[in-house]
Amino acid sequence: MTFATVFSLNLLLVVSCISYSAQFNKSGNVALLKDKGGLVAPGFSCLLVNCSLPTTTCLLDSSCREAVHCNSECQGKTNEEACNLLCELTYGYNSSKYRHLLQCMSDHGCLPVSPPDGICVANDSSTIKNLTSLSQIKGKWWILRGLNCGQRGWPAAFDYFPCQRDEFVPLGTHNDVWVDHIAYCGGRNNTCSTPILYTVANVSITKPGVMNHVYTDPPLTPQIEEWRVLSWPHPDWMLYIYCGATPTGPYAGGSVVTRADSGKDVGVIPVYVEIEFRSVAKQFGFNYDEMCVSNVTSCSD
């Protein structure tokens, strides 16, 4: 194949990554540039006009190409946003070329804005008030139950990723700025579809019970989440809600977490803690017993 052919084939992959409705067509490539109504996909001219250099640079780099190809395979999936995130963490994470391309597309409005994934069920005034310093929750917390699980309206299933944990580590001693080292694998229901992936956020407590997360390594900046602790009946058990956004749209979820070693098995949640979580969940309009359950007992990291 000539360079020009390789280039145009790969360009089409990029286009398919940004164009929700474009269809892959094995025999021709024209269809790829058309949406269901037969119009040229809106992102395509935007990409050509505004991001041709980052696109070329990306396509000449194998890991950037791989990430873009991975994105192209997410298109049209119900969990498209989560799928794109996994592509970034698996293939694009260390590729500055990939980040530049995505950021260029975002900055110029070439990416479609997605509808909200999940509902933000709590605001800052809904939190418990006795979490005021991150030193109170230092350590590794495992996610045992989740709210964003792939049900209708919550397609990403962010909270059903297997082996998901947060580790709160102090950044320095001068103030209360901490880092959350997050790990999980892609997939759901205890079955990993990717290796363990890592991402990092700066965390600070902005109001009692409210943790502000600013991701330091997201595919698109800024990515900010407010975590609102709704229940903390035992030092090692928490129920929180998170409401976040990236430049392509808002999302939300929530989790039951523990840092108790014995608590890695969801079965050992103290009875009074579970009664409290069930009651708090009801107050905020969701059902504790319908939250998706993860068994992290055999997760290694």
Ligand X SMILES: *[C@@H]1O[C@H](CO)[C@@H](O)[C@H](O)[C@H]1NC(C)=O
Residue in 33, 128, 192, 224 binding ligand X, rule: CB under 6 A = 128
How many other β-carbons are positioned within 10 Å of the β-carbon of residue 62? 10
Cα–Cα distances (Å) from 186 to 155, 163, 194, 237, in that order, read 14, 9, 5, 24
Site for ligand X contains 33 (CB under 6 A): no
Residue in 28, 37, 38, 285 binding ligand X, rule: CB under 6 A = 28
Window contacting ligand X (CB under 6 A); options: 8-16, 67-75, 76-84, 290-298:
290-298
Residue in 135, 206, 297, 301 binding ligand X, rule: CB under 6 A = 297
167 HSE (CA, 13 A, CB side): 12
Residue 216: CB minimum distance to ligand X, A: 4
| Contact indicator for 59, 65 with CB cutoff of 8 Å | yes
Question: How far is residue 214's CA from residue 200's CA, in Å, rounded to a whole number?
Answer: 9
Number of residues that bind ligand X (CB under 6 A): 33
Window contacting ligand X (CB under 6 A); options: 8-16, 204-212, 230-238, 248-256:
230-238
Backbone φ and ψ for 130, nearest 5 degrees, come out as -95, 15
Reading the block at residue 221, the tokens are 């900046």
| Contact indicator for 34, 42 with CB cutoff of 8 Å | no
Window contacting ligand X (CB under 6 A); options: 26-34, 76-84, 138-146, 250-258:
26-34
Site for ligand X contains 94 (CB under 6 A): yes
Window contacting ligand X (CB under 6 A); options: 123-131, 151-159, 203-211, 243-251:
123-131
Residue type for position 231: S
Backbone φ and ψ for 250, nearest 5 degrees, come out as -85, 160
Q: Which residues bind ligand X (CB under 6 A)?
A: 25, 27-28, 30-31, 45-46, 49-50, 93-94, 108-109, 123, 125-126, 128, 130, 171, 177, 189, 202, 214, 216, 232-233, 235, 265-267, 295, 297-298
